[in-house]
Amino acid sequence: MASRLNEPVSAGWFSWLLGPAVLMLLTACEPVQEPAANETEAREYLASAFLLGSDDMPEPAPTVAYVPQLSGAPSNRFEGRLTIEGSDSAGHLEIVTDMFGLSSQAKLNLDTLPRFDFEFVQSGNDLIPIQRGRQRRDHPHWEIIVEPGKVWDEPGDGEWTRASLPFAMAERNANCTHNGLMSFLFKDDGNVSQIAFQVGSESCYYLQFNLWGIAPARYQPQVVAGKDSVINSFEEELAARLPVKQISQLAEDFPQADISQFALHDTAEVSTYGFVIDGVRYSGGCPTRFGLYPYCDRMVLPSYSLAKTIFAASAFMQLEQHFPGAGGLLVTDYVPACRLDGRWEGVTLNHLLDMSSGNFESTVDQEDEFFSYNGALFGRDNHAAKIADACSLFPRRAEPGSTWVYHTSETYIAGTLMNAFWREQTGEASDIFTDLMVENLLEPLKFSPVLQDTVRSYDEAAQPFTGYGLTLLPDDIARFGLFLLQSDGAVNQAQVLNRRQLDAALQRDSEDPGMTVDAGNMRYNNGLWAAQILPPDACPDPVWIPFMSGYGGISVVLMPNDSVYYVFSDGGHFKWAQAAVQSHKLKSFCGEQP
């Protein structure tokens, strides 16, 4: 999907990108530091009498009702299968934004949860789902992601132990992600209360809503196979994460910092934002419509077109490392659907990743991209329909490599080409995401299981989308940004990404700057954007700042001083220049303190 700034880089674009700074001094949510709401037996929201009763949930609860109150080992232990009874439990739906009228389509069942049937194992106060990442169900619109939650004892709950879980509903065949919370009571013997659930936050430009309700549940205690491995993997994941501080603490560590320059979007459109410098992630918290999300470090975030860098570019750089010259592979040699006429003759993998195939209808910003949203590439769920549409969307208008036009369709073709080439070299059972991304990169560096998954076509081909469809946690995006900036493409001292192609993408190779965009003030190379933000005299040499950009208002900025700024918003705004200027003040982009 669209993943670029939507105004030219000019004086007007610069002022638009800066935007008005909106001060958002939110408390970061890792570790949990909410007020202790449950220190007495009187619990205002989600009390035990309510969860054990049969009353409806008239409105969403403040998120503080889901905050763990950890004061020792819980008296009950959860290990086994938790099921929400009934198929597709319905809740109360309140629409906030619905640009395409999806809520009027009853067949989509937007007000129902996907089938919830998960095994969990408990480790201390952590409640860990065995299945992480997107789980396909039989729901017509939603898939479900469940992240580790907490269990604890609380005054007023008697012999019961309380649990809360962060979860997300992810749009089928797309990337919109809606974050929610669940809570329930349980005992060792399998007794379980109703489950209270609510959704009040999302990263989704065109569909925003509140969903809440209660649902009957069933808990089947049983020994979980492989539980020690699950617990060990979770502990390794936590150990690999960056240390986290609240964004307000940035001013303590860097007295010259103006933290308002990192809070650039209206709170209502932000899922989370943060700034990484000197190996510390300063979190701006995770606001929802009902209070701060108590599992901010486990908030599920969509990649949209960040995947063009994280997945497509990284897979390409690995192929270049294994097979030098892979960027010259021809579309027509590996993508049969693109052989029907001559428009793809001479188009290479490099052209696709640079958005310079020469096939386009219009060079007007985003006009072709928006047109493609109405076709099979985004609307159908099988690979044959998607690749046929991608190959036939636009006519040949220019020589390959001569003209830049943004097309997600080209990244989908690139993924198809790379998968076909990789299978030619390594066998039909091979897969570029599993083999190159997970086994070579994401698993060795202990990125979350959420990121070690991707949306694929819903057929036997199971083609990874490549241009969008990844899901991330906040630490994933922070550490992946640092990996690109600091690793030189090596994983555990083994070269994984081709160094020359990585340097080109990061604008470190003056001989390969990529394609010129927007009158020369922006560039696009190997799936990565770059812009000039600082005044021309800020450093002795021009400073190009690489960045990733995702549909709706997602920005991840990779700065020359090895800092990273990220914001996941869905208001259609792409503001980050003030954060870059502020980063330069803290640690010079010129290689020395200004």
pLDDT digits (tens, 9 = 90+) for 113-124: 999 999 999 999
CA separation for the pair 519, 498 (Å, rounded): 29
> Contact at 8 Å (CB) between 295 and 147?
yes
State both tokens at 237.
């994941």
Provide the pLDDT confidence category of residue 27 given band limits of 50, 70 and 90. Answer: very low
For the domain spanning 305-470, the CATH number is: 3.40.710.10
Average pLDDT on 539-543 reads 92
Query: Predicted confidence band at 31 (pLDDT cuts at 50, 70, 90)?
Result: very low
Structure tokens at 208: 């925003």
Q: Give the residue-averaged pLDDT of 221-246.
A: 97
pLDDT tens digits, one per residue of 275-298: 999 999 999 999 999 999 999 999
Residue pLDDT, tens place only, 366-403 = 999 999 999 999 999 999 999 999 999 999 999 999 99
Percent of the chain with pLDDT over 70: 92
Higher model confidence: residue 229 or residue 6? 229
Task: Return the pLDDT at 85.
Answer: 78
pLDDT at 17: 35
Other CB atoms within 10 A of residue 65 CB:
22
State CA 358 to chain mean position distance.
30
The overall average pLDDT reported for the chain is 92
Q: Tokens 């065995």 belong to which residue?
A: 130
| Contacts of residue 174, Cβ cutoff 8 Å, sequence gap at least 6 | 378, 455
Q: What is the pLDDT of residue 519?
A: 73
> Do the Cβ atoms of 178 and 197 come closer than 8 Å?
no
Give the least confident one: 2-11, 162-171, 529-538. Answer: 2-11
Domain residue spans of the chain: 48-236, 305-470
- The confidence score (pLDDT) of residue 518 equals 79
355-368, pLDDT tens digit by residue?
Answer: 999 999 999 999 99
- Report the pLDDT averaged over residues 430-438: 98
**Phi then psi for 263, rounded to 5 degrees?**
-105, 80
Q: Return the pLDDT at 25.
A: 28
| pLDDT for residue 90 | 80
Q: Give the mean pLDDT of 425-429.
A: 96
Output the pLDDT for position 228.
97
Per-residue pLDDT at 592? 57
Q: Would you state the pLDDT for residue 272?
A: 98
